[in-house]
Structure 1
Amino acid sequence: MRYDLPGEPTVEVDAFRAEVRRWCEEHVPSGWRQAQTGVTDKEFVRFQQEWFQELRRAGYAVPHWPGEWGGEMPVDRQIVLYQELAAHDAPRLVLAFVGVHHAAATLLAAGNDEQRRRHLPAILDGEIWCQGFSEPDAGSDLASLRTSARRERDGYVVNGQKVWASGAMHADRCLLLARTDPEAPKRRGISYFLMDMRSPGVEVRPIRQATGESHFCEIFLNDVAVPAADLVGPENGGWQVAQQTLGAERGMTMLELAERLGNAGFGRLLDTCARPGPGGRRAMDDSRVRDRLALLETEVTGLRALCRDLVESAGSGTAGPADASIVKLYYSELLQRMTDFGAEVAGLAAHTELRKPMSSGWESGAWVLDFVGSWEWTIPGGSSEIQRTIIGERGLGLPREPRGT
């Protein structure tokens, strides 16, 4: 089932849609959901990298990157691309996500030419990245981080701990924040590094989650040497650089996720509601269920329109300071509402479904696992409370919250 965003497509966009549709019919792996359920880590990584290269050969892997690096796809075509990938139930680029979005946004905005030449082609070749921001005592209050980077000769020596690093067990590189000036005010003594995960002293420990997966990890850093060439921006200027990373996490990445939620996710919810249950009765036969579906469809349409507006305004330089936070907040809480409703209408049988495809998103149709997993989206990139503060202060111009003494 397909749900296209209303608009006035041009002849060129219609032709591009037909091109992407043909490509998806020929290249989206058939039976990938079954093949990616219960696989080993090695099989998962291989599948992800092969799928990324398949998209790269077609010119679909990094449509939002500048043209010199293989992107510069017009916004209307990016929307069509993600609509068709979602409608054809294509696998998600789970392992490439941080590299393609967060690392690339950081390198393009704040990296130097040498760093871009070294890492952007590597990302295209399959280099996997993770993000080392949060710590046990520095989650939403990220500026309180304690991981230290001490300057020594031609580099830095890093000690500390990071947590909630998605996919770190597979990563080649890490976007790392560390404190280089312990005497400076919290946000002014932080630096930003591109750390090699194979460096001596780096230890990764996966964290088992309630869904049974171990996507999140802890990273322990013991006298890890980081070359000065891997410092992004000025020393002690890492907080400003990190805003480029967080901006990508809250904003541009939402376009794909919104299309997946609106196409594949809502389509699976309709299928669940139309499936006969005990006695042959369908959830869809209940008027309250139909009302709820209508409300969710309206919300999904609003989310997709917000995402399109954000991408267009970001491209023209007219995005507001809180626009990305609005989209991130709306997506994460709508995802919760939709997966919660899916778990409700699917009934007790959904609670026995204990596995989901490794390369799927948060709208796989394994509704209980999707719902439990949806909660993570209200935390990374700034919790929902942080997003509301940003919207209030930067978007609406409300007074800043008083600081505690």
Structure 2
Amino acid sequence: MTEDIDAFREHVRRWCAEHVPTDWRAAQTGVSDDEYVRFQKSWFAELHSAGFAVPHWPPEWGGGMSVAEQIVLYSELAAHDAPRLVLAFVGIHHAASTLLAAGTEDQRRRHLPAILDGEIWVQGFSEPEAGSDLAALRTTARRAGDEFVVNGQKVWASGGLHADWCLLLARTDPDAKKRHGISYFLMDMTSPGIEVRPIRQATGESHFCEVFLNDVRIPAANLVGPENKGWQVAQETLGAERGMTMLELAERLGNAGFRWLVAECERAGVLTDSLVADRLAQFEIEITGLRGLCRELVEGRSDGPADASVVKLFYSELLQRLTDFGAEISGLAGHTVLAKPISSGWESGAWVLDFIGSWEWTIPGGASEIQRTIIGERGLGLPREPAGA
């Protein structure tokens, strides 16, 4: 196995040396939306042609890599400063995990090959009054023959402006208890009645969108799982966000984020400072621990009811501390950097912007407070938190 992994690592290294574009950071800074989409789809096609786009999928759908091979792949891509698959992220992780776990065979055959051909997905979960308390969502889906008529609003839909399809949660039984009347749909984003509005952020980016739904018709065949059982299906989506995706992100944090941080300390002339060295050592220890947790989770050796929440909480808060320290070390010069490569990860080396972006991970997908509640109640068996008034 060691020889096989070493040979695979050498294969990935050679491929990266030949295929990772050396100028992508400059080319993807301050770029138009159209150029961003073109680049992301081109890079995805490049990875797909090499068999590197969806290593975590089952072999019959184009994946089949062992966890050890995935770790090698993600670490080498990060070490060679490869762009991230930002636009395809929801499709290859959240949509695929949901379809594989709860979709019909027809739904899988329709969408999994299409994702490999560049189909872009967005997640339509959060609403203005239903963020951390997702079960409070108000978007409705009313049955009308072999269709559902949907009305409502979604917010914080990352990449919604470019999406072809949406993973949508809507309430199909208004009289049921909060989690028991929700259904899960696949929504075609070209359907009449959908309006997508970008949300301009303080940094100048428009990564998030609002999605308004006015009498949108969704075929009943696009229902995932049983009607009114969408909450259970959504756990597969959230499980992917808190679990499988972390394997890639942990390797990128260790092979790109930490490397950028050490280089920043060297540029600032503080690498030999004992306090800085202590912080760097602590980060390296934590990253090593995160990698171990991710591997155990993905390999199934860690099967506790709150393990995915432990990993998500650990990663998101470690990312926030690491980028915060980078912003501190970079000083005033780092605070004047106003743009970062749009196809980079959350650790681009533009430290202030990276730190702002790190809050994306401590809030969406279940805020840190929500993760701690899950860990306490499901993992440690503590009494349930009292319901609010």
Cα distance in structure 2, aligned partners of 1:342 and 1:16: 33
TM-score (norm 1): 0.95
Task: Determine which of 138, 148, 160 is the counterpart of 1:168.
Answer: 160
Deviation digits for residues 111-146 of structure 1 (CA, Å, limit 9, x no counterpart) = 000000000011000000000000000001000000
State the AA in 1 paired with 2:68. D
Cα distance in structure 2, aligned partners of 1:165 and 1:42: 18
Counterpart of 2:287 in structure 1 is: 300
> 1:403, CA displacement in angstroms?
2.0
Range with bigger deviation, 53-62 or 206-215: 206-215
Q: Does 1:309 align with 2:296?
A: yes
Q: Secondary structure at the match of 2:247?
A: helix
Counterpart of 2:371 in structure 1 is: 387
Cα distance in structure 2, aligned partners of 1:362 and 1:125: 26
Cα distance in structure 1, aligned partners of 2:260 and 2:365: 27
Q: How many residue pairs align between the two structures?
A: 389
Cα distance in structure 2, aligned partners of 1:260 and 1:389: 28
Counterpart of 1:51 in structure 2 is: 43
> 1:301, CA displacement in angstroms?
1.1
> 1:72, CA displacement in angstroms?
1.1
Q: How does 1:177-326 map to 2 (within 5 A)?
A: 177-275=169-267, 277=268, 282-313=269-300, 319-326=303-310
> 1:287, CA displacement in angstroms?
1.6
Cα distance in structure 2, aligned partners of 1:66 and 1:290: 42
Deviation digits for residues 64-86 of structure 1 (CA, Å, limit 9, x no counterpart) = 10111001111110111101001
Deviation digits for residues 28-78 of structure 1 (CA, Å, limit 9, x no counterpart) = 111110111111000000100011011111111000101110011111101
TM-score (norm 2): 0.99
> 1:288, CA displacement in angstroms?
1.1
**Unaligned stretches of 5+ in structure 2?**
none
Task: Determine which of 69, 87, 91 is the counterpart of 2:83.
Answer: 91
Q: Does 1:106 align with 2:90?
A: no
Percent identical residues: 77
Partners of 1:110 and 1:232 within 8 A in 2:
yes
Q: Secondary structure at the match of 1:253?
A: helix
**Unaligned stretches of 5+ in structure 1?**
1-8
Deviation digits for residues 332-375 of structure 1 (CA, Å, limit 9, x no counterpart) = 00000000000000000011100000100110000000001101
> 1:286, CA displacement in angstroms?
2.2
Cα distance in structure 1, aligned partners of 2:120 and 2:249: 20
Q: Secondary structure at the match of 2:271?
A: helix
Counterpart of 1:63 in structure 2 is: 55
Counterpart of 1:6 in structure 2 is: none
Q: Does 1:123 align with 2:115?
A: yes
Counterpart of 1:348 in structure 2 is: 332
Counterpart of 1:334 in structure 2 is: 318
Q: Secondary structure at the match of 1:284?
A: coil
Cα distance in structure 1, aligned partners of 2:328 and 2:191: 46
Counterpart of 1:5 in structure 2 is: none
State the AA in 2 paired with 1:38. G
